[in-house]
Structure 1
């Protein structure tokens, strides 16, 4: 946990310093370096080297822990090609940063030279991108360190009982599981945090990649407006990306906008759905209404059947309007009664969900176990009764034999 905390701090610090360095360069002519920006690049390089060292330490501890969990003596045996590729990929992501070049020297340039240079300058081409921006934008990938920080400080990950239950059920307590758990627990909070982070990062990336007609970076407000247009897939066209870099960032923002819209719709659907008890109350009220309608239609069937019977007793013509009307109402009541019964069956089916089925299965299992135990007890009692009956039979046979012997002795004495 301590190593991940330091990695997260160094990663976020590098991103902040990169933004500050580029903002200083944006204020200069042709994005020239200053002594201040050069010093910040030195600090970024130092923090990057320290971060890579902590990455090696983190993976060394993780490989050692895997070896201990799997009872392996040599920790190198746990290394696989996939783990090696992931470690190399993580190091490459964290190693990319604006590299300090030669120390900038002050050039005494007159105002006339500056104005002549600015007047003679032409607009940048579509493929233009500053080297510091090209090396600075990939640094936003270090945000994954924040995700690792959240994982190692989550109560689900730190709780030994929850991890044991997950291990027994073959559920790994990784970052994707935590994301799904947090989206289930706090959907609005997670979605809002995600959109704010994407908004700030995407707006600054658009500012860094896009230029005005005077070769200056667009303002932060304009980049925010361009982000909103792209994120919401509106695209008014008043501000457009001026480079391939800006177009690439806009395409990525559009994909994030579609993903956020899908997440927002799922969250709204989850909030609008009735919970289990609300569904029970709603179905109970509907069932009462359907029961009232069923009784009304059953009474109408009896009433119209009685009317038709009375008309037949009075020898009313079958072709008369009153007879036809009563017969039509009778058939309508029968049809409505069948529809109400069908709706009641559908209501019962919709009320029974997976939780009810699981509870019924659990209760059935408990009752089956109790019945089995009772059968075992009955079997033991039957065996005891059988043994007692055998003993009684033997005693009765012995008594009969004794009586016979006694009678034989008496007969012998009488005969003498």
Structure 2
């Protein structure tokens, strides 16, 4: 899409089959992407059914999940259609590519599946099942990367947003009198807008350019907030604050576990009751709720276990410090006692030697 936009922008290729070929390849890649998304979701539902022991696929495919799949397909299907056959439309003098190619560039931007999963653990039914298959901002592998190197990841995303916004802004402002200018000028304008500085030396002259600058400013505010959040996350609590914080989290997690366990029993009873009444639709609805509640209960149990392990590790460190202090004190007292015994033994040996050498001589106490 970038190649098509640049060729149309420069006007160096007058062969009408080139844009048709490029747009056709873009449409073919979009159809392939939609097919891969459908195949992924079918496999995801099959794994979810296999993991939870389901026989009816309608239980796994709820209304919310179906809506997300349709929304994902609709977003990924957006792309500029191939141009009609025939001579190209006349271009007005001084019009340039402007908003038409900029809109095509936005529609033809790289798309990725917005994978998701509707509960369960492990495989495609886990919390990162769909995300792990598509490779976008997901629990795997970008979430560990965000946890380990948050500043580097935010910097890479900001640079990518700068370059893409500058290119789209250059496509919008090309050939417009009083516009922002070429790619070099937009590479200066976008970071200044992104960082919310705004010197005012360059101003976009088209509606498309103003929208791009508006989006760049919003992204800049969001990145600034994320950097502040990362800096706040790096601040550590004191030991007493950690104990209090973990205790409160443990109490809240235990309360949620009890509430979720009661909900599991309630939904299981409703599934049994609707099955006895021969109401399959309501039984499937409550079965979906039961599976979702079970998934929530598993996550709460894992969270509670992690909190307990963290508390135990903090307690173990405190106990280790106390034990090391007691061992050090015991070694010091044992050393003093051993020294006293050695002094007493030396005094007794001296006394015994004197008695053997000079009978009747009184023993000399130690220290004389």
With the length of structure 1 as denominator, give the TM-score of the two structures. 0.49
Q: Return 5+ residue gaps in structure 1 as ranges.
A: 1-17, 153-161, 280-347, 367-416
Equivalent residue number for residue 40 of structure 1: 22
1:231 aligns with 2:203: no
- Residue pairs, 1:28-177, within 5 angstroms: 28=11, 34-103=16-85, 105=87, 118=93, 121=94, 129-130=99-100, 132-140=101-109, 142=111, 144-145=112-113, 163=122, 177=139
Q: Return 5+ residue gaps in structure 2 as ranges.
A: 132-136, 248-309, 320-368
| CA distance in structure 1 between the partners assigned to 2:175 and 2:232 by the alignment | 42
Measure how far apart 1:258 and its partner are. 0.9
Task: Report SS of the residue matched to 1:233.
Answer: coil
Deviates further, 48-57 or 176-185: 176-185
Measure how far apart 1:26 and its partner are. 0.7
Equivalent residue number for residue 347 of structure 2: none
Task: Report SS of the residue matched to 1:140.
Answer: coil
1:197 aligns with 2:160: yes
Task: Report SS of the residue matched to 2:7.
Answer: helix
Residue 123 of structure 1 contacts residue 213 of structure 1 at CA under 8 Å; is this kept in 2? yes
Equivalent residue number for residue 295 of structure 1: none
| CA distance in structure 2 between the partners assigned to 1:98 and 1:106 by the alignment | 16
Measure how far apart 1:231 and its partner are. 0.2
Q: Deviations over 1:70-129 (max 9, x none)?
A: 22223243222222222222222222212112335489x9xxxx9xx63xx5799xxx73
Q: Deviations over 1:180-227 (max 9, x none)?
A: 543221112211221122122211221222244359993111121111
Equivalent residue number for residue 318 of structure 1: none
| CA distance in structure 1 between the partners assigned to 2:177 and 2:9 by the alignment | 13
Residue 189 of structure 2 contacts residue 202 of structure 2 at CA under 8 Å; is this kept in 1? yes
Task: Report SS of the residue matched to 2:203.
Answer: coil
Q: RMSD over aligned Cα, in angstroms?
A: 4.2
> Residue 135 and residue 96 in structure 1: after superposition, are their counterparts in 2 closer, same or farther (change >3 A)?
farther
1:24 aligns with 2:7: yes
| CA distance in structure 2 between the partners assigned to 1:138 and 1:105 by the alignment | 24
| CA distance in structure 1 between the partners assigned to 2:313 and 2:77 by the alignment | 57
Equivalent residue number for residue 359 of structure 1: 312
Residue 63 of structure 1 contacts residue 79 of structure 1 at CA under 8 Å; is this kept in 2? yes
> Residue 123 and residue 34 in structure 1: after superposition, are their counterparts in 2 closer, same or farther (change >3 A)?
closer
> Residue 360 and residue 192 in structure 1: after superposition, are their counterparts in 2 closer, same or farther (change >3 A)?
closer
Measure how far apart 1:50 and its partner are. 1.6
Count of aligned pairs between the two proteins = 244
Task: Report SS of the residue matched to 1:129.
Answer: helix
| CA distance in structure 1 between the partners assigned to 2:149 and 2:56 by the alignment | 42
| CA distance in structure 1 between the partners assigned to 2:178 and 2:14 by the alignment | 13
Measure how far apart 1:66 and its partner are. 1.8
Greater CA radius of gyration, 1 or 2?
1
Measure how far apart 1:230 and its partner are. 1.0
Deviates further, 187-196 or 223-232: 187-196
> Residue 141 and residue 106 in structure 1: after superposition, are their counterparts in 2 closer, same or farther (change >3 A)?
closer
> Residue 22 and residue 240 in structure 1: after superposition, are their counterparts in 2 closer, same or farther (change >3 A)?
same
Task: Report SS of the residue matched to 2:48.
Answer: helix
